[in-house]
Amino acid sequence: MSHIVIRIPTPLRGHTAGADEVPVEARSVGEALARLGELHPGILERVLDGDGQPRQFVNIFLGSGNVRALDGMNTPVRDGDVLAIIPAVAGGGHESGGCKTESPSGTDYRA
């Protein structure tokens, strides 16, 4: 078993009594998240879908790698690893259909 830390985003800290990091022991990402769920009931329903995979708008990073691009929930973890739960952030656009940004020359750029 490896000792790792799971970083908890602000919107989910209500499930961890305000803790921004939760230490767990695990062999894989899936095991680490299962342990998180045992320690803090209710949090996994916000992170994983019914199949036990990250929800569509939630990314889980092991170090700098998105676990979707690694071996998913089977991705092995090592002592000292940091697992970060990152909810996707979406922004709204201006009513005209995008964010208006003007260059110094006055050119209108829309995102």
Domains in the chain: boundaries: 2-87
pLDDT tens, 68-81?
A: 999 999 999 999 99
- Give the alpha-carbon dihedral of 29, 41, 58, 52, to 10 degrees: 60
Does the domain made of 2-87 have the CATH classification 3.40.50.620?
no
pLDDT tens, 32-71?
A: 999 999 999 999 999 999 999 999 999 999 999 999 999 9
Mean pLDDT of the chain: 86
| Percent residues over pLDDT 90 in the chain | 77
Strands 2-7 and 82-87: parallel
Q: What is the pLDDT of residue 99?
A: 47
Pure H helices in 2-110 = 29-39, 44-47
Residue 88: band (very low, low, confident or very high) from pLDDT cuts 50, 70, 90: confident
